[in-house]
Structure 1
Amino acid sequence: MVFWLLLIGGVSPTQAQTIYKVTGLVTDANTGEPIPFASVALVGRRVGVLTDEQGRYTLNAKLLTDSMAVSSLGYKTLRRAIDPERLTQAVDFKLESAGNALQEVTVRAGENPAWRVLRQLRKNRGLNDRKRLAAYEYDSYVKTEIALSHVTERMRKNPLIKRINEAMSKQDSIVDDDGHRLLPLLASESVSRYYFRSSPERKREDIRKTRIKGVAVDDAGLSSQLLGGTNLVSQNFYDNYIPILGKDFASPVGDNWRGWYEFFLADTTQIGDHICYEIQFDPKRKEDLAFIGKAWIDTTTFALCQIETRIGDQANLNYVRGLTIEQELETTTDSTAGNSGTAGWLPVSIKLTANLTGVGKQSLGMRAQVTLRNSNIIVNRPHPALFYEQPIEPSDTVATTNEAYWHAVQRNLAGPDSLSKEDQKSRQIIDKLRAVPAVKMAEAVGEVAITGFYKVGGLDLGPYPYLFAVNSIEGLRTRIGFRTNDQFSRSWIFRGYVAYGTLDGQFKYGAEADYLFSRQHWTVAGVRVADDIERLGLTPELIGGNRIFYALSRFGRVRGGYESFQKEVFFKTEPVKGVLITAMLGSRTFDPYFNFLYKAQPELGDQSPLRSEINDAFWSIEARLARKEKYIMDGNERITLGTKRAPILTIRYTHGAKSLGGDYNYDRITIRAQQTFRLGTLGRTTYLLSAGYTPSTLPAPLLFPHIGNPTPLLTTNTFNRMNYYEFVSDQFVAIHVQHRFEGLLFNRIPGIRKLNWRLIGNVDALWGTQSKANQSLETNRLLPNGQRSVRFGTLDPKIPYMELGYGIDNIFKLIRIQAIHRLNYLGDGLNGIPINSFALKASATISF
């Protein structure tokens, strides 16, 4: 729903905001002399001022916390309580001398003095980085707020916005610190206990309590996993790159700090109990994915104490008006028996604010703000490895109302970051907004657009990409499908669909029933049956679950179409985190709609009887290894969040058996590996490596038909200049490599760099062969209709099939255009299908 409203936009009327005023005097506690240029700030907010030459200050704010702090070089930081409800008040401070001496700083002639500090920070990283800790755990409070912003007069004419404004009163208005009017969409609080162990690396998060108010937010279980804990704000600036919004930003204190940034050593200042160097930094190139900001580094340990960063408006990043990260770190005490020394630094306060926008200058904006506080920290007390197996564990009472619990959280954990009067007002506006009929309709449309399903009680109807298709076999194909959700049952899951073609006049169907034994070890058993038309080489299994590509394959002329009746029984379980085992018993039929015959008894040569149908019966066992993969639970569905660039490896063994009702005994093994990894300034590389081998003699449809894509649509992990089922192998190795250069080249070309284009390239290669025994199953005899059977190509094992691509991504922030060259196996195509060695293809992707 957030993304739906992001596109169509709107906000409520304005209202004057309350301004709080605090004044006072800051003096030396011993002499009574005023202290000029002391820093006066609200605790828990980035709101502060400096005292004037007479030590006086005036601080104005739209929201107060419960205390203020004053610091000045050479003095101890002093905090005093204030009344957050009073509009005006006077608070004086008397500071005592700190008596701290700074370490000597040696500056080389001609060298930036900030460099020496940064070299020491990297040198001492092993002592200060949280990665040195054997284990740590802490209580975490997270507040997440999402609101619409940046509304233009043009957007106010939108019919939905008009209805929203009619339902809102003049009092229903909130303004942020920059004066932008906001319309709240979500306000949530979450409390969790986070656990980390370094060897072996394991993580776990127990979501204890969540309370959420939001537009299109009904599932507190899913929301608590997405919005709770440290998922959104776990950046470690000691790393060389900081992943944000799917991009890698160079850290200002990473190993390559000199290559990315310009630095300025401003001064020393006191942060809490630490005297720190203040270092300011800016990107060398404004278009690069780098930060602007300040870092405070302890003068004694050279640890990072505090950092404030923001992304410049010229960075090569889509849909982002601004993004800031503020992080405070504190030393920890070793919790092992008999050890009370310091043991590294952990973040105790993090704030991330993102101001996003749609496409075009007139698009609506969205502000998302995440505030986190950590406390009750315990370090170097690891739990047994099995303790960490469940990565995110919501409590059974995560969403139940308990006001006493939240009062305790505000008092002991959240502090000034707990829900303020403005936050409470946001919740009231959200309740009123959800009651607007037009918003309810937009919620339903947005849910369908994002998930593909329309929820009706315990049923989800869809997915919508499969509703209609038009092709040469079925004519107009219509399909209606459903799946049950956790409102129907938390153990039983049913799926099914019915389709009908107006040209062939045939009904098709599919049905599946699963039983979920365990969510923690993801143990599921099920049975499925389907009678439908498929296309050779384009089954959901072979194309890796690409729903859109599979749906589009049902349009147009269906080359390689066949009717298939499938029955399967399966069992899958995850005995160890990251290792998923699947066992399957099944059968399927192959009844082609195209001209295809094979020799049923190849030993008889041309005298062999010919067949077109194939009955296949098999059992298989598969192991999927995905180290560090993260999941969240959406009712009865498990959604992967990726593996943090660790490879995903899948190995499957299949045995076909006549004893199970099939036509052939055979063995097959397939391997698949995929990974994304970073190459520093060069960008990101993604690869998919697959291989297969069967030593058995089988007709071509039971071997490995390689996935071609002669359509104008660019689809990764296929061969985009290969025709459908052009080549078939009984043993093969295929590699698809794609590299995103991001702004490496275009960011450095005047004029073009303003377009935010990104260079992209790919290489696809296929080594394969087919035995003489398998080739002998093909026939050259004429069919009864006077035509010949479709033939499948065979690769030379010494010459790989090759494709090379290059193109421009991020055109208008959406479009990718790529040139694809087929480098070999040119000439006349098989079965009268021409071969084109070059094509321009396009695709659309929404990415930051």
Structure 2
Amino acid sequence: MEKRLRTLTFFLLAGLLLCLSGQLYAQTTYSVTGLVTDAKTGEPVPFASVALVGKRVGTITDEKGRYTLRTNVLSDSLVVSSMGYANTRRAIDGERLTQAIDVQLPMSAGNALQEVVVRAGENPAFRVLRQVRKNRSLNDRSRLKAYEYDSYQKTEMALSHLTDRMRQTGLFRKINQAMSQVDSIVDSEGNRLLPLLVSESVTHTYYRTGPQRRREDVRKTRIRGVAVDDAGVSSQLLGGTSLASQNFYDNYIPILGKDFASPIGDNWRNWYEFFLADTTQIGDHICYEIQFDPKRPEDLAFTGKAWIDTSSFALCEIEARIGSRANLNYVRALTIEQELEPTPDSTGAKTKEGWLPVGLKLTADLTGVGKQSLGIRAQVTLRNSNVVVNQPKPVLFYEQPIEPSDTVATTNEAYWRTVQRTLAGPDSLNKADQKSRMMIETLRSVPAVRTAEAVGQIAVTGFLKVGSFDLGPYPYLFAVNTVEGLRTRVGFRTNEDFSRHLVLRGYLAYGTLDKEFKYGVEADYLISRQHWTQIGVRMSYDLERLGLTPELIGGNRIFYALSRFGRYRGAYQSKQKEAFFVTEPVKGIMLRAMVGSRTFDPLFPYAYRSSPDMGDQSPLRSDINDAYWAIEARLARKEKYIMDGNERITLGTKRAPVLTVRYTRGTTGLGSDFNYSRITLRAQQTLRLGPLGRMTYLLSAGFTPSTLPAPLLFPHIGNPTPLLTVNTFNRMQFYEFVSDRFVAVHMQHRFEGFLFNRLPGIRKLNWRLVANADMLWGSLSQANQDLESNKMLPNGQRPIHFGHLDPSVPYVELGYGIDNIFKIFRVQAVHRLTYLEPGPNNIPTNRFAIKAAASISF
């Protein structure tokens, strides 16, 4: 795909190339000790809770009332609590590394903690968790009509996990020479970190619950990073606050395309073991501390702690970790720390109804294949404030999901000083972050790193940026097939440096066997980014393959590129001209209109009757001239996308289906050989099924009441190659069947670790079960059948015959296999269950095959 996500995805490639060796950077450790006694009697208070206010750092006193608290971070005070005593705070001197603070606890004046009634033989944590679910209707933020807030987000990325062997490579030595005068940074486990990115963003976020809408206005972004040259894209990728939208009241938490069971969801008892540890002070709230662990380490579940408010049973704070044993690829560890506060009413007072996230910290250690591979440490810190609730905006206000300010990347140090004072607080850039920025600037000056940036850009986007032009895409650079021999192609497109409105594209290809030049040119003019309105014209002359038009394959460009290799059956030459207009008048509804023409000149033996009423006496013809106009509507609710210069990059929809309907009218008035009507429909969606995994379906249908040669109907996409390709018929021959009306369903279900995680021995392999079903109902009218001819062609060849389906018997394929073998490969068995006799042209059918595919996914 032509998606220029160079801001983030290149870091995974850089993680396989870069390193640093140097001195260690030691973290500061503070120590607070003291004695906790009864204020009236002076007796020591054993097992009292001692915690830093606003932090999840704490300890308990021993049997003599003494405590020692060691930490890398300090707050302004500590709080001491114990059953029967009033909570007591004491100030902390933030400048001292060691200090002693004794605390005298007065007796409680009646504000005792709620009593926890424990049933005989029951885990005491269960009672608290039942109350959490019972009070969800009051505490879950979804009860609010609308809410909005200011948000500060800091993102840091760094290379980690370097081995001695990797340091010996040439690139690493060059980096070490450049960085030898700079101290390195280490994480909490002692791994050296090489900073790759440091960014700060300020946004204002709006939510509305009925109907569900969301909008983000990116106010300001500043960023320093390797391979980052566009703060506009970065502000949309890094400046959003979607991380804070993780709602642990939901049954499942989506992370990296997987669904993790929530420890406070409806199914908490089926997934977790719990332990009620203690009560502690979190901000102004007294909370139960509940520890949780997955019953099976391989399951998609968390390990961590939750703090539940003792009066409202609301989730006050949670620390959820994903361990290395979870069935998740390329993740050594991932931790989510989320803080929540009750929303204010119209007077600004806390209502304790509808708790919103006010802080979040996400830390992820990503890795390649193998325990010793390099990795990426990513950390996101987020702080929300200035919350306003129950003041919904008009629905049209939320139409643009992410709106960057015109001055988003403009330098303004005074603005950032204000942000650090009023919004970010202690989470703003600190000394370690400043060191990271300095190291990044040094790293970007290394010539070898600049070369790695260019290589990574090509690998991720398919294009190499050279001034105002992008050269590529490189997956189309060459192919080898039986018609063209060695096919080479060079192409380009202009970028935003050339023009913010005009986009030019073009390519030139040549085949060494057919000795033919092919070409394509296109000019687009971007009228509006707000409603994504474009007009354009395109023209091309190229070799195509029957049935593999972009309309029929749904824009699967990778499959389209691979189809140019090998035996090129169904090849034809085509000249195409088209003008189009596209606009998005309402968020999620894309309208397209086009008018064009194309030719069909087959390179395989094919002919049709130009006068079918004459039967075998009819003259034969093989070429087709098609001229048409068409209109298309695409509905994609909740689709997310970002703007990258003149490109709009979709990030997919959130569980909503994507529907596309197109009507095409061919007319002799435009120069076509036939008058016809055709309508096509596509619908695709991914369904989350909780512990059962995820199901994806693609439904397509088409109908034309007209009498047309087979190439203008619906040739169904077969795939007789050994490579598995989803959304095709993997046991069908190329152009084995053609229909003038059809319905096709492609269903694929990924069980994730639902079954294999429960099988001893296999569960350690992190294999995943996958199954698919592909079905096709179609028919071909007698009038269209009469267009075909069995007469020998003038060159002595017998023409290709297209088969057709019995409308009462569907074509069916079923498959099952193992995915995630070595985290990359998939092996699948495919059974063809119907139409088992030799097909048209006497090609034998193959009922069963083993196919393989490779993909990278979490």
Q: CA deviation at 1:30?
A: 5.2
Q: CA deviation at 1:342?
A: 4.5
Q: Deviations over 1:450-497 (max 9, x none)?
A: 111111112111111100011111111110111111121111111111
What is the aligned counterpart of 1:821 among 823, 827, 831? 831
Instruction: Say which SS state the counterpart of residue 754 (structure 1) adopts.
Output: helix
Counting only pairs closer than 5 Å after superposition, residues 546-695 of structure 1 correspond to structure 2 as 546-695=556-705
Counting only pairs closer than 5 Å after superposition, residues 473-488 of structure 1 correspond to structure 2 as 473-488=483-498
**CA distance in structure 1 between the aligned counterparts of 2:78 and 2:606, rounded to whole angstroms:** 82
Counting only pairs closer than 5 Å after superposition, residues 69-218 of structure 1 correspond to structure 2 as 69-73=78-82, 74-76=85-87, 78=89, 80=91, 82-83=93-94, 99=109, 100-169=111-180, 171-218=182-229
Counterpart of 1:582, as a letter, is R
Q: Which moved more, 1:8-17 or 1:838-847?
A: 8-17
Q: What is the match of residue 341 of structure 2?
A: 330
Q: CA deviation at 1:340?
A: 8.0
The 1:77/1:245 distance shift into structure 2, 3 A limit, reads farther
Q: CA deviation at 1:87?
A: 5.3
Counting only pairs closer than 5 Å after superposition, residues 231-630 of structure 1 correspond to structure 2 as 231-335=242-346, 341-630=351-640
C-alpha contact (below 8 Å) 2:49/2:280 kept by paired residues: no
What is the aligned counterpart of 2:727 among 717, 725, 731? 717
Q: Deviations over 1:579-631 (max 9, x none)?
A: 11111111111111111100111122222111111111111111111111111
Counterpart of 2:119, as a letter, is R
C-alpha contact (below 8 Å) 2:628/2:665 kept by paired residues: yes
Q: CA deviation at 1:110?
A: 2.3
TM-score by length of 1: 0.96
C-alpha contact (below 8 Å) 1:40/1:68 kept by paired residues: no
**CA distance in structure 2 between the aligned counterparts of 1:499 and 1:697, rounded to whole angstroms:** 35
Identity across aligned pairs (percent)?
Answer: 72
C-alpha contact (below 8 Å) 2:50/2:81 kept by paired residues: no
Q: Which moved more, 1:688-697 or 1:224-233?
A: 224-233
**CA distance in structure 2 between the aligned counterparts of 1:572 and 1:303, rounded to whole angstroms:** 48
Q: Deviations over 1:64-104 (max 9, x none)?
A: 456343342344363746446x6566667677766422223
**CA distance in structure 2 between the aligned counterparts of 1:707 and 1:591, rounded to whole angstroms:** 20
**CA distance in structure 1 between the aligned counterparts of 2:766 and 2:27, rounded to whole angstroms:** 41
C-alpha contact (below 8 Å) 1:21/1:58 kept by paired residues: no
Q: Deviations over 1:317-342 (max 9, x none)?
A: 1111111111111101234x999844
C-alpha contact (below 8 Å) 1:14/1:181 kept by paired residues: no
The 1:637/1:338 distance shift into structure 2, 3 A limit, reads closer
Unaligned 5+ segments in structure 1 are none
Q: Deviations over 1:34-57 (max 9, x none)?
A: 666555556666555555566665
Instruction: Say which SS state the counterpart of residue 411 (structure 1) adopts.
Output: helix
Is 2:18 aligned against 1:12? no
C-alpha contact (below 8 Å) 1:23/1:56 kept by paired residues: no
The 1:66/1:288 distance shift into structure 2, 3 A limit, reads closer
**CA distance in structure 2 between the aligned counterparts of 1:168 and 1:577, rounded to whole angstroms:** 48
**CA distance in structure 2 between the aligned counterparts of 1:301 and 1:404, rounded to whole angstroms:** 41
The 1:36/1:519 distance shift into structure 2, 3 A limit, reads farther
Counterpart of 1:821, as a letter, is H
The 1:28/1:141 distance shift into structure 2, 3 A limit, reads farther
Q: Which moved more, 1:4-13 or 1:749-758?
A: 4-13
Q: CA deviation at 1:235?
A: 0.9
Q: CA deviation at 1:165?
A: 1.4
The 1:484/1:47 distance shift into structure 2, 3 A limit, reads farther
Instruction: Say which SS state the counterpart of residue 153 (structure 1) adopts.
Output: coil
Counting only pairs closer than 5 Å after superposition, residues 664-813 of structure 1 correspond to structure 2 as 664-813=674-823
Q: Which moved more, 1:543-552 or 1:246-255?
A: 543-552
Instruction: Say which SS state the counterpart of residue 812 (structure 2) adopts.
Output: strand
Q: CA deviation at 1:831?
A: 2.4
What is the aligned counterpart of 2:30 among 21, 27, 32? 21
**CA distance in structure 1 between the aligned counterparts of 2:345 and 2:515, rounded to whole angstroms:** 74
Q: CA deviation at 1:306?
A: 0.9
Q: CA deviation at 1:387?
A: 0.8
Instruction: Say which SS state the counterpart of residue 757 (structure 2) adopts.
Output: helix
Instruction: Say which SS state the counterpart of residue 805 (structure 2) adopts.
Output: coil
Counterpart of 2:774, as a letter, is D
C-alpha contact (below 8 Å) 2:78/2:90 kept by paired residues: yes
**CA distance in structure 1 between the aligned counterparts of 2:447 and 2:48, rounded to whole angstroms:** 53
TM-score by length of 2: 0.95
**CA distance in structure 1 between the aligned counterparts of 2:800 and 2:809, rounded to whole angstroms:** 24
C-alpha contact (below 8 Å) 2:38/2:45 kept by paired residues: no
C-alpha contact (below 8 Å) 1:221/1:399 kept by paired residues: yes
C-alpha contact (below 8 Å) 2:336/2:360 kept by paired residues: yes
The 1:77/1:448 distance shift into structure 2, 3 A limit, reads farther
The 1:515/1:442 distance shift into structure 2, 3 A limit, reads same
**CA distance in structure 2 between the aligned counterparts of 1:33 and 1:673, rounded to whole angstroms:** 72
Q: Deviations over 1:409-443 (max 9, x none)?
A: 11111111111100100110111111111111111
C-alpha contact (below 8 Å) 2:815/2:831 kept by paired residues: yes
**CA distance in structure 1 between the aligned counterparts of 2:74 and 2:436, rounded to whole angstroms:** 18
**CA distance in structure 2 between the aligned counterparts of 1:43 and 1:198, rounded to whole angstroms:** 33
C-alpha contact (below 8 Å) 1:51/1:57 kept by paired residues: yes
Instruction: Say which SS state the counterpart of residue 743 (structure 1) adopts.
Output: coil
Instruction: Say which SS state the counterpart of residue 351 (structure 1) adopts.
Output: strand
The 1:212/1:56 distance shift into structure 2, 3 A limit, reads farther
**CA distance in structure 1 between the aligned counterparts of 2:495 and 2:402, rounded to whole angstroms:** 20
Q: Which moved more, 1:642-651 or 1:29-38?
A: 29-38
Instruction: Say which SS state the counterpart of residue 552 (structure 2) adopts.
Output: coil
Counterpart of 1:820, as a letter, is V
Unaligned 5+ segments in structure 2 are 1-9
**CA distance in structure 2 between the aligned counterparts of 1:372 and 1:2, rounded to whole angstroms:** 21
What is the aligned counterpart of 1:2 among 6, 11, 17? 11
Q: What is the match of residue 4 of structure 2?
A: none
**CA distance in structure 2 between the aligned counterparts of 1:562 and 1:11, rounded to whole angstroms:** 54
C-alpha contact (below 8 Å) 1:675/1:687 kept by paired residues: yes
C-alpha contact (below 8 Å) 2:607/2:621 kept by paired residues: yes
Q: Which moved more, 1:307-316 or 1:558-567?
A: 307-316
The 1:43/1:206 distance shift into structure 2, 3 A limit, reads farther
The 1:97/1:461 distance shift into structure 2, 3 A limit, reads farther
Q: CA deviation at 1:277?
A: 1.7
